Amino acid sequence: MRTLDPQSLPQHVDRLYRAAWALCGSREDAEDLVQETFSRVLSRPRVLQGDDELYYLMRVLRNTFLTGLRTASRRPVTAAVLEDVVAADPKPTSRPEQAIEVQELYATIAELSEDFRLALVAVDVLGLSYREAARALRVREATLTTRLFRARKQVAAQLAPEVEHVEETTREGKKAGGVLSSGGTA
């Protein structure tokens, strides 16, 4: 058993931000979720029972996310529209092509049902082990495995047309290349 050291928390900001982005589907909401998560964690001393910090943060992130969803659904007017919208950081990553891919991937994950989304985020985005993820999400390991499998399958299905298209184009390209090559040698 040990007390969570607040000074060690900033090292997890990036990973938690990615997890929050995949959960919310929006970078702005992800920022709020991460900040609220850290605010909750830091509101009082925390005791970890031999658990990894990241596992603990995932648990709080999940609770904060679910609380936010429920609170938002009860609120008559939810959008905090600003008089001046500050443009979000246009360069979340130094590689523009990756930014598009990330946006697409996370947006697809955010469309999954809540349980599937949390399972995928805990394991594939945050990098928790199945055991840690199951405990953080308060489900059995077998349940997590099933959810994770289904979540991956759904996301893969969403992205599949693009993959198939690329494969088809590649096949056609190879055929064309073959003909030219034959002609060349003849």
Partner 1 sequence: MNKRDPQIESELSERLRAIDVRAPQELHERIGMLVAERTATRRRPAGWRLQLGGAVALAAIVAGLLIGVLGGGTSSKLTMRETVALTQRPATTSAPSEDPRNGTELAVAVDGVPFPYWDERFGWRSTGSRTDRLDGRQVTTVFYINQEGQRIGYAIVAGKPAPPVKGGVIEWRGGTAYRLQHAWGSEVVSWQRAGHLCVIAGHDVSPSALLALASWQGHETLSA
User: Residue numbers of the site for partner 1 (CB under 8 A)?
Assistant: 6-7, 9-10, 13-14, 16-18, 21-22, 27, 31-36, 38-40, 42-45, 71-72, 75-77, 79-86, 89, 92-93, 98-99, 101-102, 105, 120, 123-125, 127, 149, 152-153, 155-157, 159-160, 163
Nearer to partner 1, 81 or 186 (CB): 81
CB 9 within 8 A of CB 54: no
> What distance in Å separates the CA atoms of residue 142 and residue 132, rounded to the nearest whole number?
13
> What distance in Å separates the CA atoms of residue 141 and residue 149, rounded to the nearest whole number?
12
* Shortest distance in whole angstroms from residue 138 CB to partner 1: 22
Nearer to partner 1, 72 or 176 (CB): 72
Instruction: Look at residues 116, 76, 84, 93 and name the one whose alpha carbon lies nearest to residue 27.
Output: 93
Residue 90 three-state SS: coil
Nearer to partner 1, 98 or 170 (CB): 98
